[in-house]
Homo-oligomer: A and B are copies of this chain.
Amino acid sequence: MKAPAPLEALTAALKRLPGVGAKSAQRFAYHLLQHDREGAALLARALNEATQRVRHCQRCNTFTEFEVCETCSSPRRDPALLCVVETPADQLTIEQTLSYTGLYFVLMGRLSPLDGIGPKQIGLERLLARAGDGVVREVILATNFTQEGEATAHYIGELLRARGLKVSRLARGVPVGSELEYVDPSTIAQALRDQRSVGDRD
Contacts and interface: CB of A to CB of B under 8 A. Distances in A.
A171 B48 CA distance: 48
Interface residues of A, number: 56
Nearest to A14: B43
A52 B32 CA distance: 12
Interface in A60-85: 63-65, 70-71
A6 B17 CA distance: 18
Nearest to A34: B108
Interface string A11-33: 01110111100001011111111
Query: Which one of A17, A65, A87 has the highest number of Cβ atoms from chain B below 10 Å of its Cβ?
Result: A17
B4 A53 contact: yes
A49 B89 CA distance: 32
B87 A10 contact: no
A40 B31 contact: no
Contact of A9 (B5, B13, B18, B46): B46
A159 interface: no
A178 interface: no
A138 B195 CA distance: 78
A7 interface: yes
